[in-house]
Chains A and B, each alone.
Chain A
Amino acid sequence: MPVKDFNGKQVQVDDEGYLVNQADWDEELAKAIAKEEGIEELTEAHWKVIHFMRKEYQEKGTAPSIRRLKNTGGIPVKELYNLFPGGPAKKAAKIAGLPKPQGCV
């Protein structure tokens, strides 16, 4: 398992860079991962998505899909793409310290 250094903090990640131990996550770490993903600053809108994703993950055991973020989280898909360019579900899950979302089979 690769170990990555975020601002001096050593954490285990999987081959694609998702956190292995959820317990390693804190907001400082999220900021560092976000930087790696090309997001310089996490705004309030970003945090809303991240906190919703973490809450969903704790309740359901899987990271929410884009559709669920829209329907239940009330976050328009367009906004998600603006906040997390490229692939919002995957990118936001990574920053939120969650495993890669399923739904891709």
Chain B
Amino acid sequence: MKKLLILGAGTGGTIMANKLRPVLDPLEWDITIVDQEEVHYYQPGFLFIPFGIYNRNDVIKPKRDFLPAGVNVEMSGIEVIEPEKSRVKLDNGKTLEYDYLIISTGSKIHPEETPGMLEGGWRQNIFDFYTIDGAVSLANFLKYWEGGRMVLNIVEMPIKCPVAPLEFVFLADWWFTEQGMRDKVEIFFVTPLPGAFTKPLAAKFLGNFLEKKNIRLVPDFSIERVDPDKQKIISYDEQEIEYDLLVPIPTNMGDEVIARSGMGDELNFIPTDKHTLQSKNYENIFVIGDATDLPSSKAGSVAHFESEVLFENILRAIDKRPLLPKFDGHANCFIESGFGKGILIDFNYDVEPLPGKFPLPGIGPFSLLEETKMNHWGKMMFRWMYWNLLLKGAELPIEAQMNMAGKRRVA
């Protein structure tokens, strides 16, 4: 029996299990997926929890419901990956050998990387919204908050879903308005980037939105530490910003098992070929989603687009054919902008977000780099697509590679 092993049953791992099980002959191929948590979180939904739009139950389902029959499931932590020996040791004592390995262990926040962040203020007046517990406790805090200065701070790049911090402040502006207390709240958007976003056109477009919504943008701020007693954040070059409520996006890192296995960079992300998704160091290892070091966004949509290229390349590797360098860094993000509207961006390694219509050129129904109600409905509808189509590996009406049709070049 030949063995395919998948580490991590999040978005990427689950999609790969669903795509590969039907095509790999069960008499020839054994597929095992390893994860330590029974619950699958719809992570894009965390954003809505602080504002009471979703609650915990809206974003969780059992992982096993999404794994196909005929795939062995190991619920265990991973002790170490031994790529030289093509085997993985689990916390439950088992050792699993593999012919091919797919690593989809994701990324997590590390607030302890910033001195002072966990000291005193954590979950008192410092909350993340990248974990379910953070998002839920922030919702409880906001319910009774009487106002003051809310500072959103991106600690360092790269982060999961680079548009989520912007969505958070847009939604906050809307929510405080709804509560009749917008005049009692100052909103700061503090980022190490030179602008609101990473790519120039979108940065300008989104920057204008911040201004329109009276959200103060503080660019080029690299946080060194939090002073929880004086309630301020301090940058490496000694800028200081006071807060009453701090919402940091802490350092994002790949899983610790990657570090323990000596397979990652400084942030535990795995060196991966950015077009084939093969590990740069091991021929029989492939990497998908947030676990890679690709210069693309860390987001579910990216893992989904990667899955189509990875599916093809795993089958080609098994058949001893050369891999196809087909992943283009495609990302597609609905950006919730508050008041029932949204913005959509679609881009890849080489093409920054441009205006236009999506997915049907000239028709839509969605509009790129433009704020519309339809884009908001696209975002809300996406949760259904995620659970019912995307995770199950079904074909979506969007191609893996970015398409220029429907986009307008801007001079």
Spell out A's residues near B (CB within 8 Å): 65-68, 71-72, 77-78, 80-81, 85-87, 102-105
Q: How many A-B residue pairs have CB under 8 A?
A: 39
Spell out B's residues near A (CB within 8 Å): 156-158, 162, 193-194, 198, 220, 222, 224, 236-237, 265-267, 295-297
Determine if B198 and A105 form an interchain contact, defined as CB atoms under 8 angstroms apart. Answer: yes
Contacts of B295 in A (CB 8 A): 102-103, 105
Question: A67 to B253, alpha carbons, bound, how many Å?
Answer: 12
Having A65-B266, A78-B224, A103-B295, one finds 8 other A-B pairs with CB under 8 Å, namely A66-B222, A77-B222, A81-B236, A85-B237, A86-B220, A87-B194, A104-B193, A105-B162
Determine if A68 and B266 form an interchain contact, defined as CB atoms under 8 angstroms apart. Answer: yes
For the complex of A and B, the 9 pairs showing the least CB-CB separation, nearest first, are A81-B236, A67-B266, A102-B295, A81-B237, A104-B198, A68-B266, A71-B266, A105-B295, A105-B198
Interface of B is mostly: loop
Instruction: Tell me which of B194, B222, B296 has the highest count of chain A C-beta atoms within 10 A of its own C-beta.
Output: B222
B166 to chain A, nearest CB (A): 14
Contacts of B162 in A (CB 8 A): 105
- Known pairs A77-B236, A87-B220; A105 contacts B266 (CB<8 A): no
- Contact pick for A67, options B194, B198, B267, B296, CB 8 Å: B267
What would 13 A/B residue contacts be, using CB atoms closer than 8 Å?
A65-B266, A66-B156, A67-B156, A71-B266, A78-B224, A81-B237, A86-B237, A87-B194, A103-B158, A103-B295, A105-B157, A105-B162, A105-B297
Question: A22 to B96, alpha carbons, bound, how many Å?
Answer: 46
Contacts of A72 in B (CB 8 A): 266
Contacts of A86 in B (CB 8 A): 220, 237
Question: A86 to B267, alpha carbons, bound, how many Å?
Answer: 23
Question: A78 to B198, alpha carbons, bound, how many Å?
Answer: 24
Determine if B236 and A104 form an interchain contact, defined as CB atoms under 8 angstroms apart. Answer: no
B286 to chain A, nearest CB (A): 21
- Contact pick for A105, options B236, B237, B265, B296, CB 8 Å: B296
Question: A44 to B33, alpha carbons, bound, how many Å?
Answer: 52
Contacts of A87 in B (CB 8 A): 194, 220
Instruction: Tell me which of A85, A102, A105 has the highest count of chain B C-beta atoms within 10 A of its own C-beta.
Output: A105
Of all chain A residues, the one with the shortest Cβ separation from B329 is: A105
Contacts of B157 in A (CB 8 A): 103-105
Of all chain B residues, the one with the shortest Cβ separation from A81 is: B236
Contacts of A104 in B (CB 8 A): 157-158, 193, 198
Of all chain A residues, the one with the shortest Cβ separation from B347 is: A105
B287 to chain A, nearest CB (A): 16
B351 to chain A, nearest CB (A): 13
Contacts of B266 in A (CB 8 A): 65, 67-68, 71-72
A73 to chain B, nearest CB (A): 11
Contacts of A67 in B (CB 8 A): 156, 266-267
Contacts of A71 in B (CB 8 A): 266
Of all chain B residues, the one with the shortest Cβ separation from A15 is: B200
Determine if A105 and B158 form an interchain contact, defined as CB atoms under 8 angstroms apart. Answer: yes
Determine if A78 and B297 form an interchain contact, defined as CB atoms under 8 angstroms apart. Answer: no
B196 to chain A, nearest CB (A): 13
Determine if A78 and B236 form an interchain contact, defined as CB atoms under 8 angstroms apart. Answer: yes
Of all chain A residues, the one with the shortest Cβ separation from B267 is: A67
Question: A13 to B330, alpha carbons, bound, how many Å?
Answer: 28
Of all chain A residues, the one with the shortest Cβ separation from B294 is: A105
Of all chain B residues, the one with the shortest Cβ separation from A102 is: B295
B284 to chain A, nearest CB (A): 23
B264 to chain A, nearest CB (A): 12
A32 to chain B, nearest CB (A): 24
Instruction: Tell me which of A67, A71, A77 has the highest count of chain B C-beta atoms within 10 A of its own C-beta.
Output: A67
